[in-house]
């Protein structure tokens, strides 16, 4: 990632900080609408599971996972590069002073500092995976678990969007620099870094492809809830737009 991309991403999340917080709150108030962020949040917490000790929310955004980590038994610490996000998360923490601003590629923590870690909507904005995984490995305690979310490169809807862009029909989903990941390739990188216990699931489904989804939003949302039930644990890697991965640092590391 060059300096221009780095600055553009920072400006984007500073600008959209309040919108991201409202996205989660709006989702929680809506009983029937399909909001993929709530499914993603639930799956991340389920994959992580309950535990004790310090937990790092890497790229914590507006802090929407911090209280959930606390309910799971952890002592959470939020970290984000966006100053606006850090301010929002700090207010959500109500004076606990458990949010810091720092760079995910150079974590300001000693080795073996955290019993658990999550990185939701972050990895795709970092320049590459090896250095990121090395930092995660370094700061996790032996036996500590990490859960990260990725944009699924094999999602059929994402491939359809790329086809649209190629023919200039519509520029869908382009919000600045981000990367997509293939599950098998990422799993190989994770295991080469020394992690074990790799597990995954999918979320955010597009039952009705665009542009029909724009014409039939209620049908698309209705079916999407069922697709979450049917395909979130499926071996079909072309269905979900978001890939959620769990892995852990070996106990003897």
**Looking at the domain assignment, is residue 157 inside a domain?**
yes
Please give the residue range of the domain that contains residue 189.
Answer: 3-248
CA 63, 158, 191 angle in degrees (round to 5)? 65
Position 36 scores a pLDDT of: 77
Q: How many Cβ atoms are within 10 Å of 18's Cβ, its own excluded? A: 12
Mean pLDDT of 61-83: 91
CATH code (residue 123): 3.40.50.150
pLDDT > 90 in the chain, percent: 55
Mean pLDDT of 183-204: 97
Q: Where residue 7 falls among pLDDT bands split at 50, 70, 90? A: low
**Looking at the domain assignment, is residue 130 inside a domain?**
yes
- The DSSP secondary-structure symbol of 125 reads G
**Looking at the domain assignment, is residue 28 inside a domain?**
yes
Distance of CA 181 to the CA centre of its chain: 12
Q: Lowest mean pLDDT of 115-124, 188-197, 214-223, name the range.
A: 214-223
Cβ partners under 8 Å of residue 193, min gap 6:
130, 133, 134, 137
**Looking at the domain assignment, is residue 20 inside a domain?**
yes
Q: Where residue 17 falls among pLDDT bands split at 50, 70, 90? A: very low
Position 160 scores a pLDDT of: 86
**Looking at the domain assignment, is residue 76 inside a domain?**
yes
Mean pLDDT of 234-244: 92
**Looking at the domain assignment, is residue 253 inside a domain?**
no
Tell me how many domains the chain contains.
1
Q: Where residue 104 falls among pLDDT bands split at 50, 70, 90? A: confident
Residue 134 scores a pLDDT above 50: yes
Mean pLDDT of 163-185: 75
Q: How many Cβ atoms are within 10 Å of 162's Cβ, its own excluded? A: 13
């Amino acid at each position: 990632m060059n300096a221009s991309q780095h600055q553009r991403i920072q400006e984007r999340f500073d600008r959209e900080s309040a919108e991201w917080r409202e996205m989660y709150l709006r989702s929680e108030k809506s009983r029937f609408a399909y909001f993929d962020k709530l499914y993603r949040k639930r799956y991340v917490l389920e994959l992580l599971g309950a535990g004790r000790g310090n937990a790092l929310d890497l790229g914590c955004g507006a802090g929407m996972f911090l209280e959930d980590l606390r309910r799971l038994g952890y002592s959470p610490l939020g970290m984000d590069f966006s100053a606006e996000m850090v301010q929002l998360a700090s207010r959500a923490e109500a004076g606990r002073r458990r949010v810091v601003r720092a760079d995910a590629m150079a974590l300001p923590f000693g080795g073996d500092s955290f019993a658990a870690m999550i990185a939701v909507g972050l990895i795709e904005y970092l320049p590459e995976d090896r250095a990121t995984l090395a930092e995660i490995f370094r700061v996790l305690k032996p036996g500590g678990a990490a859960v990260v979310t990725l944009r699924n490169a094999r999602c059929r809807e994402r491939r359809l969007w790329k086809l649209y862009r190629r023919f200039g029909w519509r520029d869908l989903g382009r919000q600045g620099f981000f990367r997509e990941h293939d599950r098998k390739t990422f799993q190989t990188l994770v295991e080469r870094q020394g992690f074990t216990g790799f597990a995954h699931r999918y979320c955010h489904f597009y039952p009705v492809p665009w542009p029909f989804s724009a014409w039939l939003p209620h049908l698309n949302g209705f079916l999407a809830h069922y697709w979450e039930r049917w395909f979130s644990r499926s071996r079909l890697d072309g269905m979900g737009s978001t890939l959620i991965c769990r892995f852990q640092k070996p106990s003897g590391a």
